[in-house]
């Protein structure tokens, strides 16, 4: 317990002023479950671990600026950090939303400690890019971006006299169907582009205002580079140009390199010669404020250790009516695997697994659009399989997306599609989600995944 000096009512002199690095560490330790979730997402294969690059560059940049940090944090930044940390500790929010708020809480502490040349906006960008956001961005924004990319590529190819028609997320080029698949959405290129921008701005100590003014053109560079890449790949895959097989990867790498170089040059050209004082400046915090903030972070961390996460269980039992046969062959019910059972506990629908003679059929039913209807590709990656040879194949129900999943000496051909109430099929979760959200497709919906040994 802290005692007061009876003469002046102030806290005694032995109450320490924590060093700057420890203030940065307080929200990190207090929000430990969020960082644990982030590590698990990077390690389970469900998201590309590119965020590790952003974490490393952020730590290097912050360490580089450590000498400019003030000895006593400013009141406003610490108060905002405590409020954000409290919000991030609320387990009712989606995990990714909590992670975003947690990053902002850490950035608020850095704001409270900032020196005259702290590139705070670039740090915020690196912090957000360090999160496992790629799979979520691909789910929500992948299909709209593929539509934009496909339409732009169609217009460019039409300019040189080719017969090109866009059909959803695919292009009919001279009578041949070319699919604009998930990698062509440009999500990864956008991540790499903004990583280059934030890293350059942080290293050059670009002012927040100068960096903010550069962001719109960065988006345009990324979009243009992705359209150029997609157009060249469509020309190759449709047979318009006779390029070797390795040129597919070469074109992608060249487009990535070009985009990153253009962004690097664009941001570096804006290096500020002089720095303007921050718009908002708060006075340094007193000892009482700092002690209260430190205790608040401790309480937040302790509460997360004592209060269990909310888990909303969704029954996968037999109120759901499942079919007796699939593709003319009988379905024999099978128990869910341990991994599937854990997934089913938080799935907003019903899941069942069947043996269909020479293949395993997994059915997932949902009644509303949901992010938790993950693509089978992500699930297999999470189980340690390598994914290759993705393609669209015709089936009795329409098009389905297929791929080869390999792990050790085991190889599976996996195919999947999502079917709505009217029988219309979707080959990927992102296109289904947007059709369901805007009312072009009506539920209930059934995701069908088949897997057979090769």
Per-residue pLDDT tens over the stretch 37-67: 888 877 766 667 788 999 999 999 988 888 8
| 251 plus 336 within the same structural domain | no
Per-residue pLDDT tens over the stretch 240-261: 887 887 888 888 899 999 999 9
pLDDT at 289: 67
| 196 plus 339 within the same structural domain | no
| 300 plus 344 within the same structural domain | no
| 374 plus 440 within the same structural domain | yes
Task: Decide if 24 contacts 18 (C-beta within 8 A).
Answer: no
pLDDT at 7: 45
15 falls within a domain: no
| 77 plus 199 within the same structural domain | yes
| 65 plus 197 within the same structural domain | yes
| 365 plus 265 within the same structural domain | no
Helical H runs in 89-163? 95-113, 120-129, 134-159
Alpha-carbon distances, residue 154 vs 48, 221, 230, 301, 396 (angstroms): 30, 19, 10, 53, 29
Percent of the chain whose pLDDT exceeds 90: 15
pTM: 0.76
Q: Which residues, 6+ apart, have CB-to-CB distance to 376 below 8 Å?
A: 414, 416, 449
| 335 plus 273 within the same structural domain | no
5 falls within a domain: no
pLDDT at 305: 65
Question: What residues in the chain have per-residue pLDDT under 70?
Answer: 1-18, 44-47, 271-287, 289-290, 304-320, 338-339, 342, 382
SS3 percent helix, strand, coil of the chain, rounded to 5, is 50, 15, 35
pLDDT at 285: 60
φ/ψ (deg, to 5) at 223: -65, -45
Helix (H) or strand (E) holding 362: strand 360-366
147 falls within a domain: no
pLDDT at 196: 95
| 371 plus 420 within the same structural domain | yes
448 falls within a domain: yes
Alpha-carbon distances, residue 408 vs 49, 316, 411, 412, 413 (angstroms): 22, 31, 8, 11, 15
Give the 3-state secondary structure of residue 72.
coil
φ/ψ (deg, to 5) at 339: -65, -45
Selection from 195, 317, 348 nearest residue 263 by Cα: 195
Largest interatomic CA distance in the chain? 91
299 falls within a domain: yes
pLDDT at 45: 63
pLDDT at 318: 44
pLDDT at 69: 84
Give the 3-state secondary structure of residue 168.
coil
pLDDT at 282: 52
What residues form DSSP beta bridges with 350? 365
pLDDT at 339: 63
294 falls within a domain: yes
- The contacts found for 292-297 with CB under 8 angstroms, 24 or more apart, are 293/26, 293/78, 293/79, 293/81, 293/82, 294/18, 294/26, 296/82, 296/85, 296/86, 297/26, 297/27, 297/29, 297/30, 297/82, 297/85
| 76 plus 197 within the same structural domain | yes
184 falls within a domain: no
Cα separation, 185 vs 426, whole angstroms: 17
pLDDT at 276: 41
| 198 plus 57 within the same structural domain | yes
pLDDT at 274: 42
pLDDT at 286: 61
74 falls within a domain: yes
pLDDT at 6: 44
Q: How many structural domains are present in the chain?
A: 2
| 397 plus 426 within the same structural domain | yes
Alpha carbons within 13 A on the beta-carbon side of 69: 23
User: Is 101 exposed, middle or buried, given 0-12, 13-18 or 19+ CB atoms closer than 10 A?
Assistant: buried
Helical H runs in 160-207? 187-203
406: domain range?
325-453
């Amino acid at each position: 317990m802290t005692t007061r000096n009876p003469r002046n009512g102030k806290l005694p002199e032995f109450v320490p002023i924590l060093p700057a690095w420890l203030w940065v560490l307080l929200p990190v330790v207090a929000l430990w479950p969020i960082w644990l979730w982030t590590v698990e997402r990077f390690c389970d294969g469900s998201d590309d671990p590119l965020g590790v690059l952003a974490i490393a560059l952020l730590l290097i940049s912050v360490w580089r600026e450590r000498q400019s940090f003030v000895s006593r944090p400013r009141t406003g930044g610490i108060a905002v950090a405590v409020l954000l940390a409290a919000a991030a500790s609320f387990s009712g929010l989606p995990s990714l939303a909590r992670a975003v708020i947690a990053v902002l809480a850490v950035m608020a502490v850095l704001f409270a400690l900032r020196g005259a040349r702290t590139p705070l906006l670039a740090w915020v960008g690196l912090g957000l890019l360090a999160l496992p956001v790629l799979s979520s961005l691909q789910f929500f924004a992948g299909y709209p971006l593929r539509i934009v990319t496909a339409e732009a590529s169609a217009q460019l190819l039409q300019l040189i006299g080719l017969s090109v028609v866009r059909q959803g997320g695919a292009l009919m080029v001279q009578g041949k169907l070319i699919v604009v698949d998930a990698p062509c959405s440009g999500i990864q290129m956008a991540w790499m582009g903004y990583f280059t921008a934030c890293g350059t701005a942080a290293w050059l100590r670009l002012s927040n205002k100068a960096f903010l003014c550069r962001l719109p053109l960065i988006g345009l560079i990324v979009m243009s580079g992705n359209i150029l890449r997609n157009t060249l790949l469509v020309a190759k895959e449709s047979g318009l140009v006779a390029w070797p097989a390795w040129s597919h990867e070469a074109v992608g790498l060249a487009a990535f390199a070009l985009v990153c170089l253009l962004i690097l040059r664009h941001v570096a050209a804006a290096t500020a010669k002089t720095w303007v004082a921050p718009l908002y400046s708060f006075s340094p915090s007193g000892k009482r404020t700092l002690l209260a903030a430190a205790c608040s972070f401790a309480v937040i961390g302790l509460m997360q250790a004592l209060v269990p996460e909310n888990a909303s269980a969704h029954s996968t039992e037999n109120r759901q009516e499942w079919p007796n046969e699939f593709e003319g062959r009988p379905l024999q019910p099978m128990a869910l695997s341990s991994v599937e059972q854990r997934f089913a506990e938080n799935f907003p629908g019903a899941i069942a697994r069947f043996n269909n003679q020479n293949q395993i059929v997994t059915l997932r039913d949902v009644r509303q659009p949901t992010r938790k209807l993950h693509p089978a590709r992500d699930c297999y990656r999470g189980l340690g399989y390598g994914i290759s040879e993705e393609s669209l194949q015709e089936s009795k129900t329409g098009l389905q997306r297929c791929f080869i999943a390999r792990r050790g000496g085991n190889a599976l051909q996996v195919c999947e599609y999502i079917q709505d109430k009217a029988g219309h099929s979707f080959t990927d979760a992102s296109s289904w989600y947007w059709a369901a959200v805007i009312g072009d497709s009506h539920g209930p919906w059934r995701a069908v995944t088949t897997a057979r040994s090769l």
